[in-house]
Amino acid sequence: MANIIQSIKDLAQKASEDYLLFGNNLNSTIIVFYQDDKIDNDEILKRVCEQANQNVYLGLFNDEECDKSNIQFPVADSVQIKEETQKSEQAMKDYQTPPEHFKLSLDTAAQPNQLEVKENEQVKLGELNRLVEYRTTFRNLLSSMENIKTAEMYAANNSFNKMAHDAKLMTAKGESIGDIAKIAMRYIKEQGSDMKKIASAYDIIHKDLIESGFYVKTGFTKTSSMKINSEAKMLDPILDFTLSIEKIAAANDMCENISKTLGLFDKVIDKRTK
């Protein structure tokens, strides 16, 4: 039982961090858990969604730039996730099953004496084949973008771990997490990037430090107002993390647009194969 509870906490924490840090939809992340058999029944799915929503709410509540009187985000919905996974499983079955009355042009060329295909049917068949080829191209593109996004998420996670490690060492030496976060945000702002994700990252690091038993100072001192040494090694993972976050956001947008394009291809192809 204890293992199940911990598993629910771990999955919910991963989903909430993916949303707060990378902007990944909670449902999409939890669907991956479900498909990877990390969630094996509806009750656990429901508990993971509830815990993830709670984590995100608290994360946004602790964000200084968030309107605490009107906290909104796309919540994890176990019913929607269940429906999406069922649709995905059915779509995979449909994809693997050849449509009825569908003949490839190669079959026609191989058996010219057995099939009498009218000229307009040959044209339609050629158009259908091209649509299928285009759809395959977009599916390959989507797969490539998903691989790029996964690689950047891995890189961002490594950078986040380095940030957390450095913060732990500095906190142990008596430094304030407030100063550490402020310096990081000032540096990122100087680089011309959005510092909101850095603020969210240090909120999570702060929480982890407290849960690990550290006494954490949160006030600001003159240290965080001093000129930033851009050559400092501790700033490298902060910049790497920010760049990865920006790449992930761009990849998310591209994946969403490609998925919409694939949806249009699917509708046209489905209509023409009936």
- In order, the DSSP letters of 138-165 are HHHHHHHHHHHHHHHHHHHHHHHHHHHH
Claim to verify: residue 125 and residue 55 sit in the same structural domain: no
**Residue 103 covered by a domain:** no
Distance CA 79, CA 228 (A): 49
Claim to verify: residue 127 and residue 17 sit in the same structural domain: no
For 114-147, the pLDDT digits (tens) are 545 556 667 677 777 888 888 888 888 888 888 8
Claim to verify: residue 8 and residue 57 sit in the same structural domain: yes
Res 151 pLDDT > 50:
yes
Claim to verify: residue 263 and residue 148 sit in the same structural domain: yes
Claim to verify: residue 89 and residue 137 sit in the same structural domain: no
Mean pLDDT of 204-227: 90
**Residue 101 covered by a domain:** no
Please provide the distance, in angstroms rounded to a whole number, between the alpha carbons at the two ends of the chain: 50
State the SS3 of 20-49: HHHCCCHHHHHHHHHHCCCCCCHHHHHHHH
Residue among 214, 199, 236, 220 nearest 168 (CA):
214
51 lies in which domain range? 2-96
Q: Judge residue 102's burial from the number of C-beta atoms within 10 Å of its C-beta, 0-12 exposed, 13-18 middle, 19 or more buried.
A: middle
SS3 category, 114: coil
The pairs formed by 36-43 with CB atoms below 8 angstroms and a separation of 24 or more are 38/7, 38/11, 39/11, 42/78, 42/82
Question: For the chain, what is the domain count?
Answer: 2
For 12-35, the pLDDT digits (tens) are 988 988 888 878 889 889 988 888
Longest dimension (CA), the chain: 88
Specify whether the CB–CB gap between 266 and 128 falls below 8 A.
Answer: no
Is 0.95 topped by the overall pTM?
no
Distance CA 111, CA 219 (A): 80
